[in-house]
Amino acid sequence: MYHAMPLVLMSPTSFLARPARWLWAIHRFRATISAGPNFAYDFVASKVRDAEIEGLDLSSWRLAFNAAEPVRAATLERFAKRFARYGFDRKALTPVYGLAESAVGLAFPVLGRGPLVDRIDQLALARDGIAVPRDGHSAATLEIVACGRALPAHEFRVVNANGIAVPERTEGRIEFQGPSATSGYYRNPEATANLRRGDWLDTGDVGYIVDGEIFLTSRTKDLIKRGGHSIHPHDIEAVVGEIPGIRKGCVAVFGTTDRAFGTERVIVVAESSVAELAKRDALRGRIMEAAASHMNGPPSEVWLVRPRTVPKTSSGKTRRAACKDLYEKNLLNAPRRAIWLQFVRMAVRAGGMRFRRRWRVLRVGAKKSL
């Protein structure tokens, strides 16, 4: 609106119902800028069939922003390879970093550069919180994607548990400041007080800095500590999601406290349609092995659950806290309402909202006529 640029909006539910709609909207309107979370890029790269996009042209797409959740190098590579023959330029892939508390935008990379991936030693990050560079590809290597430098007049820094700024390549909590920073949360002074660290604001994210660029590794609330090691849930979720028989993007990893021993337990919840008991047992074994390769020992529990059990946001992101709540209340395998009942409830709710809106319009019209 500010620059008088044409803008096309699409409902997340329309995208989830048919992911190819996003790509065809870019084709139809010759879009140059379009954004989505990492999930969206992975979803279209793996779920859209060639028959659905015959004749597609993505050559107009100059900036494919990727934000709102951890950006995965494997997803970027998969997307670039899949859509290269449809005119997509891999240099358009632009991982960025922002949050509502900074009027959305905080860090952008050099435009047109393409993704910058930092390969680091997994054990050194988990044990010491240091991003030690590592050559090659292996199970002991993590690929962390750069999300750019701070926008003009903005700053970010990485601090330790005591609020002291740490050197480059040291993992810690990310704080920021700048002219776009929020003055606080609406009518919530307690949350505002927790947000501020003097002149700096807490992003709730964990990461490290290299050459002025920010690399995100986790969310503070999602980071799991076990045996002196830091466990990053999204890395384990991605590895488990690649196992045949597991629904990709439908895995949740979270920590829960064992009150008897005071230790942190790691729980893996994965959706699967596999029904045969022997095959499910084998699947659990593969999950245990895959997860153990990315943390200090196997997870405490592995749950195989029905499709559509892992809670998601409207844009398709995993809600780990909600999944943890289901686990702690022993509701992961609880019977669910029939789909048709859910649709009936949605229709009734929507009908009630329409009735209330029309009633308000009639009341306003009646008052004006008087």
| Tokens representing residue 185 in the block | 């949360």
The CATH number of the structural domain formed by 1-93 is 3.40.50
Q: Is 79 exposed, middle or buried (0-12, 13-18, 19+ CB in 10 A)?
A: buried
The residues spanned by each domain of the chain are 1-93, 96-219, 224-328
The CATH superfamily label for domain 96-219 reads Luciferase; Domain 3 (2.30.38.10)
Contacts of 139 (CB under 8 A, 6+ apart): 122, 293, 294
Query: What is the predicted pLDDT for the residue at 261?
Result: 62
Contact 66, 93 (CB under 8 A): yes
Query: What is the predicted pLDDT for the residue at 334?
Result: 82
pLDDT beyond 90 at 282: yes
224-328, CATH topology level: GMP Synthetase; Chain A, domain 3 (3.30.300)
- C-beta atoms surrounding 244 within 10 Å: 8
Question: What average pLDDT does range 338-365 have in this prediction?
Answer: 70
Query: What is the predicted pLDDT for the residue at 333?
Result: 86
**In the block, residue with structure tokens 């994210």:** 205
DSSP letter (8 states) at residue 253: E
* Mean of all residue pLDDT scores within the chain: 91
Measuring CA to CA, which residue among 36, 162, 147, 169 is closest to residue 102? 147
Contact 303, 269 (CB under 8 A): yes
Query: What is the predicted pLDDT for the residue at 358?
Result: 80
Query: What is the predicted pLDDT for the residue at 100?
Result: 93
Question: What average pLDDT does range 326-337 have in this prediction?
Answer: 85
pTM: 0.82
Going by pLDDT thresholds of 50, 70 and 90, the confidence category of residue 342 is low
Tell me the per-residue pLDDT of 161-193, one tens digit each, with 9 for 90 and over: 999 999 999 999 999 999 999 999 999 999 999
Question: What average pLDDT does range 109-118 have in this prediction?
Answer: 96
